[in-house]
Amino acid sequence: MTHNSATANTANTANTADTVNAPAHTPPLHGAIDVHAHFFTARLRAAMRDAGITRPDGMPAIPDWDPKSALRHMDEVGIETAMLSVSSPGIDFGTPDAVRELARNVNDEGAELVRAHPGRFGLMASLPLPDLPASLTEAERALDELGADGIALHTHYQGHYLGDPLYEPLMELLDDRRAVVFLHPTSPQCWKDTSLGYPRPMIEFPFDTTRAAAHLILSGTLRRHPHISFVIPHAGAALPVLADRIAVFALMREDGPPVDVMADLATLHFDLAGFSLPRALPALLNLTDARHLLYGSDFPFTPDWAVEGLAHPLVDAVDPAVRADLLHGNARRLFPRLSEPRGA
């Protein structure tokens, strides 16, 4: 993994010890790998403020985040590794040059965090979409030079969802690299008409996730690129209750080849960030099996006290026979680097 002096500030402010003030109590998550964890750089915060984004997607504020407090929180709840990504609204604000530079910044600083804290952080790199040529270049740089663990993509960019043919060159690159892609929702372009004045993560995010996943399937993108491992957030959003409906309507299509919706859904991985109990997880297990489940916290948008409060019932509800796979075993298969000895 390469880095440069511009990324050193993040590492220098971080505590390079593997743990920070080990908790006195038994952490509920027991070595979990958190595939849904977010981070901010100083440059990203400044770009958001310059763009007038102080309440992202209608949330009350941009949450605080720094490496030391993140590690302290991870130790408190038992998270061994957090796979860092940039949440919505992403980095697409400013001129194209500014967006390209911001993508490089967050990826460089994320890579430096991984280097400074072996085994504690991973990186799901950001791309300067909708600039496709620049995104292809940055994806190659992130995966091949920085050693990123995967790529974070939002459900759409300026209204173009990921199953759109314009993304085909990117999907080909990711398929060739056998990349892990973490899908994250963002506000749909029509949010002013549909959000009812509430923060968009409440209703709009689950439906935008469902829309994007359905489009990946119905467009044939998943079939054309079977070596991409997609992680769908928030216990599959509305997919568990809409899967049969999508499958039936897929049979009625007059354009494109036939699609086996249920078979394609079975290839996806799902994180359990958010409120997966008491209803979402049982519904999801009617759609997939325990080997496709991953732990996710959504920290810091889900604050530390809420992460801990959600962790206890989740761990208690999961069959002990599959608990280790949910918390870390499935993620280690998805990210083989995490099975290596720490510091390797």
Given a cut of 80, whether residue 138 has pLDDT beyond it is yes
85-90: average pLDDT: 96
Where residue 342 falls among pLDDT bands split at 50, 70, 90?
low
Q: What is the pLDDT of residue 3?
A: 38
pLDDT of res. 19: 54
Cα separations (Å) of 177 from 39, 165, 173? 24, 19, 6
pLDDT (0 to 100) of residue 92: 92
pLDDT, residue 23, reads 54
The identity of residue 70, as a single letter, is A
Instruction: Show the tokens assigned to 308.
Output: 């801990």
pLDDT of residue 114: 98
Beta bridge partners of 271: 294
pLDDT band with cut points at 50, 70 and 90 for residue 22: low
* Residue 290: C-alpha distances to residues 19, 48, 67, 268, 272 (Å): 29, 38, 31, 12, 11
Of all residues in the chain, what percent carry a pLDDT higher than 90? 81
In terms of Cα–Cα distance, which of 87, 90, 102, 111 is closest to 36? 87
Mean pLDDT for 219-229 is: 96
Q: What is the pLDDT of residue 243?
A: 97
Nearest alpha carbon to residue 57 among 11, 89, 87: 89
pLDDT in tens, 283-330: 999 999 999 999 999 999 999 999 999 999 999 999 999 999 999 999
Name the nearest CA neighbour of 110 among 74, 166, 70.
Answer: 70
For 56-74, what is the mean pLDDT? 93
DSSP bridge partners of 153: 183
Q: Is 90 left (phi over 0), alpha (psi -120 to 50) or beta?
A: left
pLDDT of amino acid 339: 85
Short-list 139, 151, 105, CA closest to 10? 105
Q: Is the pLDDT of residue 108 over 90?
A: yes
Q: Are 295 and 272 in contact (CB under 8 A)?
A: yes
